[in-house]
Amino acid sequence: MSISLESRLPRVGTTIFSVMSQLAQEHAAINLAQGFPDFECSPELLELVYKYMRDGYNQYAPMPGVLPLREALATKIASQYQFSPSPENITLTCGATEACFSAITSVVRPGDEVILFEPAFDCYVPAIELAGGIPVYIPMHYPHYQFDWQMVREKVNSKTRLIIINSPHNPTGALLSKHDMLELEHLVIEKKNLIVLSDEVYEHMVFDGLPHESVLKYAALRERSFAIFSLGKTYHVTGWRMGYCVAPAALTKEFRKVHQFNTFSVHTPSQYAMAEFISKKEEYLRLPDFFEKKRDYFLSAMKKSNFEMFPSKGSYFQMASYKNISTQPDVQFARWLVEEAGVAVIPTSVFYHNGVDEHVVRFCIAKKEETLQAAADRLCKI
């Protein structure tokens, strides 16, 4: 007997990230597609995890996360964002992905509208749709990818429940400025019932001396925001699946109701290890410079190529227009690139619900210099 199922997510297929990684493997291509580092994390951090495993920290962690880690995160946040959250308002999650899912599921009801900017990271919309919400898209465009607050104001209505922001932005490398934050702050003050989900997983990857504008810096915003972060991104351990959400008491209460029946808690020894490691401020304070050098290295290695690139302002990513190389649609171009040039990238149209194609692809720059050089050598030949 075959089961007939009406999909809850009919538009979701295999993600382009898996498709491109698979193609990269088949063609022995250099993988600048998926957003993960090809360099190792600190050996000291690994030693700490072994230590806590050997010392017997191997059973369920408390549902919100172990207290020493929540305290260490509260201290880190206080030193960065002029705001001291209580550890009671911090919840450890299985990556920022779970935090986004739990946040969206905890506040969005059937028929609620959720505003988000496109191109958008792919985990938001499935969560909105599973909750019965309706995504409302605000487009951003190559090359400057500005956040259009006028359009946001036009779209906000009595059904709008949530606004999702993401800065530094995946895939574009755009940053929300202080001006953007003030626009959002005015809006939420005016429209009392709006909640904000601020995806800040690339908080430490900001370039050219620009600041990261966290919602936590703005009093009226943090009172109604889920601020979401990723320890995986900050400490080069994306496979450990560790993220966290900072939110006021009322939001944290609802958030934890979902989290506890979703993943319940996060890997225990890694939490104790992180709690100890986070006190080493230089580990994250050096990151803007570390990743800016990678961006500059890649831009310089690509100078002779026919791609057009405006320097990314932050994140793991650099966008590039191939309009001087080909008129193919971007998905086709990305396939061609992996097969013929041996470099895997992500076509940007997949980040738009309606497939807007501006002939732009995304490169991940969170790679060793030799990887970036080898990719640039191949790309400069086309």
Ligand X SMILES: Cc1ncc(COP(=O)(O)O)c(C=O)c1O
Point out which residues bind ligand X (CB under 6 A).
35, 95-97, 121, 166, 170, 199, 201, 230, 232, 238, 243
Among residues 103 and 341, whose Cβ is nearest to ligand X? 103
Tokens of 96: 């920022």
Among residues 90 and 301, whose Cβ is nearest to ligand X? 90
Contact of 341 with 374, CB cutoff 8 Å: no
* Residue 256 beta carbon to ligand X: minimum distance, rounded to whole angstroms: 18
* Residue 305 beta carbon to ligand X: minimum distance, rounded to whole angstroms: 25
Among residues 69 and 96, whose Cβ is nearest to ligand X? 96
Give the residue nearest to ligand X (CB).
Answer: 95
- Matching residue, tokens 């574009």: 172
Three-state SS across 137-180?
Answer: EEECCCCCCCCCHHHHHHHCCCCEEEEEEECCCCCCCCCCCHHH
- Closest CA relative to residue 87, chosen from 218, 249, 202: 249
- Could you give the CA distance from residue 40 to residue 236 in angstroms, rounded to a whole number? 7
Largest CA distance in the chain: 62
* Residue 90 beta carbon to ligand X: minimum distance, rounded to whole angstroms: 15
* Residue 34 beta carbon to ligand X: minimum distance, rounded to whole angstroms: 8
* Residue 302 beta carbon to ligand X: minimum distance, rounded to whole angstroms: 22
195-199 and 160-166 beta bridge pairing: parallel
Adjacent-strand bridge partners of 134: 113
Contact of 312 with 348, CB cutoff 8 Å: no
* Residue 174 beta carbon to ligand X: minimum distance, rounded to whole angstroms: 12
Contact of 344 with 21, CB cutoff 8 Å: yes
Among residues 230 and 371, whose Cβ is nearest to ligand X? 230
Ramachandran sector of residue 331 (left: φ over 0; alpha: ψ -120 to 50; beta: rest): alpha
Among residues 63 and 123, whose Cβ is nearest to ligand X? 123
Among residues 230 and 265, whose Cβ is nearest to ligand X? 230
* Residue 17 beta carbon to ligand X: minimum distance, rounded to whole angstroms: 9
Among residues 170 and 318, whose Cβ is nearest to ligand X? 170
Among residues 210 and 250, whose Cβ is nearest to ligand X? 210
* Residue 163 beta carbon to ligand X: minimum distance, rounded to whole angstroms: 15
The two counts, helices (H) then strands (E), for the chain are 15, 12
Contact of 20 with 344, CB cutoff 8 Å: yes
- Closest CA relative to residue 183, chosen from 135, 223, 151, 138: 151
